[in-house]
């Protein structure tokens, strides 16, 4: 926009008159200044007319005054001194608000919302991680160890003791029969096996988990002493 060149004397002019004269000197309308500075047109008019009663925060408005000084190519300290003199005449205490940062309520709300959002996302991540860990723990198959008998063991008695260890909360079955598990996860139970080769099926399972299964194959053979005793018994009964 072309500038209007004319000599203007600013001596003995107040803040509002100086602001108006310099705006007109630069060839700006109220709308032009509002667009270039980001200051609302109503506030610009109140400043030019020195209607401080319409300015919500006269001290904070010093920031607008500094911006207007730069836009109108005036020394900021000069325009600020006129504005502060006006504040003093109107009984408004001047401050150094233009020189210190100002936290607006909107900025505080934005920061608070970001903090709340961050805390919420952190909480969601923690809870989600915990639930994932719990689900994995619950659904994973329990460990199972069989201490006796060993695989392929030969036994000479028809009644066998089965011992082992699993997770304390797991349920154990031996050939589909339930076995008691103590608080430490240890269990033991007797089982009868037939003569010859037999298979023991030991299974451990938690409520919602997959099962862990171990099989033990045994060979039941009577000892020579037991066989001789049986033979003698049979011979005696026939006499």
- Quote the pLDDT of residue 12: 59
Q: For residue 208, what pLDDT is reported?
A: 79
CA pair distance 174, 157, nearest whole angstrom: 18
Q: How confident is the model at residue 235, as a pLDDT? A: 41
What is the per-residue pLDDT for 169?
Answer: 87
For 181, which DSSP code? B
pLDDT per 10-residue tile (average), the chain, 239 residues: 45 83 93 92 91 82 90 91 88 54 53 82 88 74 92 91 93 94 94 92 88 93 55 42
Answer yes or no: pTM beyond 0.85: no
pLDDT of res. 90: 82
Two structure tokens written together for 136: 């994995």
Give the integer Cα–Cα distance in Å for 43 and 16.
Answer: 12
Contact residues for 31 (Cβ-Cβ < 8 A; gap 6+): 41
Does domain 144-238 bear CATH number 1.10.579.10?
no
Indicate the domain borders of the chain: 15-89, 103-139, 144-238
Indicate the fold that domain 15-89 takes in CATH. 434 Repressor (Amino-terminal Domain) (1.10.260)
Residue 135 burial class via C-beta count within 10 angstroms: exposed 0-12, middle 13-18, buried 19 and up: exposed
Q: Could you please report the per-residue DSSP string of 45-76?
A: HHHHTT-GGG-S-TTTTHHHHHHHHHHTT--H
């Amino acid at each position: 926009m072309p500038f209007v060149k004319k000599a203007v004397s600013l001596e003995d002019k107040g803040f509002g008159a100086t602001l108006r004269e310099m705006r007109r000197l630069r060839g700006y309308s109220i709308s032009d200044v509002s667009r270039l500075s980001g200051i609302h047109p109503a506030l610009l008019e109140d400043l030019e007319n020195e209607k401080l009663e319409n300015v919500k925060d006269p001290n904070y408005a010093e920031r607008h005054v500094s911006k207007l000084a730069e836009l109108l190519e005036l020394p900021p300290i000069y325009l600020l001194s006129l504005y502060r003199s006006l504040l003093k005449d109107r009984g408004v205490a001047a401050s150094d608000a233009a020189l210190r940062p100002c936290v607006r309520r909107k900025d505080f709300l934005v920061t608070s919302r970001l903090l709340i959002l961050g805390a919420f996302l952190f909480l969601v991540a923690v809870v989600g991680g915990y639930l994932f860990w719990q689900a994995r723990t619950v659904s994973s198959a329990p460990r199972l160890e069989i201490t006796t008998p060993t695989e392929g063991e030969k036994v000479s008695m028809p009644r066998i003791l089965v011992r082992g260890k699993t997770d304390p909360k797991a349920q154990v079955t031996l050939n589909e029969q339930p076995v008691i598990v103590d608080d430490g996860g240890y269990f033991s139970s007797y089982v009868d096996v037939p003569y010859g080769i037999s298979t023991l099926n030991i299974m451990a399972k938690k409520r919602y988990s997959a099962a862990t299964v171990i099989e033990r194959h045994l060979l039941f053979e009577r000892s020579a002493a037991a066989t001789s005793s049986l033979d003698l018994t049979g011979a005696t009964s026939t006499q």
